[in-house]
């Protein structure tokens, strides 16, 4: 897609801080990092989100996320990772080209992936199980 910023970054049309590249992916540093080392796994081909990714490419992307995180751990001596992958505006996706966030975490830093825990009531559990099973 010619007007997609991540297509341009992944394919070298715009210079960026590239950590890694192979035939299918580029891994770049996020321009607005949530922590030191925050990186993005970008497929070179345009797919808007996880649902539009071919299965094999999606599998490759998550294997690559593991590889990049392992190397980042050695390089930056971080203590953990948040691996985040947003799909859809409702989930906070702002760039509609599939990407995986690799966010190194350091002891003592604040939680950034957090939610207010709800309650799984009996009614809710039955409703979800029923709807999920009939959506097969």
Positions touching ligand AMP (CB under 6 A) are: 5, 9, 16, 28, 30-32, 86, 92-95
> Whats the size of the chain, residue-wise?
136
Beta strands at 18-21 and 39-43: parallel, antiparallel or unpaired? unpaired
Q: Which residues fall within 8 angstroms of residue 45, CB to CB, at 6 or more apart?
A: 24, 57
Cα 86 to Cα 93: distance, rounded to the nearest angstrom: 5
Which position among 38, 47, 99, 101 bears the catalytic label?
99
Residue nearest Zn ion (C-beta atom):
4
- The nearer residue to ligand AMP, 94 or 133, going by C-beta atoms, is 94
* Residue 42 DSSP class: E
- The nearer residue to ligand AMP, 9 or 78, going by C-beta atoms, is 9
Catalytic residues: 99
**For binding to Zn ion (CB under 5 A), which residues are involved?**
1, 4, 6-7, 46, 97
């Amino acid at each position: 897609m010619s007007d997609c910023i991540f297509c341009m970054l992944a394919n070298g049309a715009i210079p960026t801080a590239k950590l890694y590249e192979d035939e299918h992916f580029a891994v770049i540093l996020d321009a607005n990092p949530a922590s030191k080392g925050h990186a993005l796994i970008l497929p070179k081909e345009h797919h808007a989100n996880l649902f539009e990714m071919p299965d094999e490419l999606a599998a490759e992307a998550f294997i690559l996320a593991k590889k990049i995180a392992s190397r980042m751990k050695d390089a930056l001596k971080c203590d953990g990772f948040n691996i985040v992958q947003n799909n859809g505006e409702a989930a906070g996706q702002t760039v509609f080209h599939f990407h995986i966030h690799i966010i190194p975490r350091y002891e003592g830093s604040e939680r950034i992936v957090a939610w207010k825990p709800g309650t799984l009531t009996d009614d809710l559990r039955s409703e979800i199980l029923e709807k999920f099973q009939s959506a097969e």
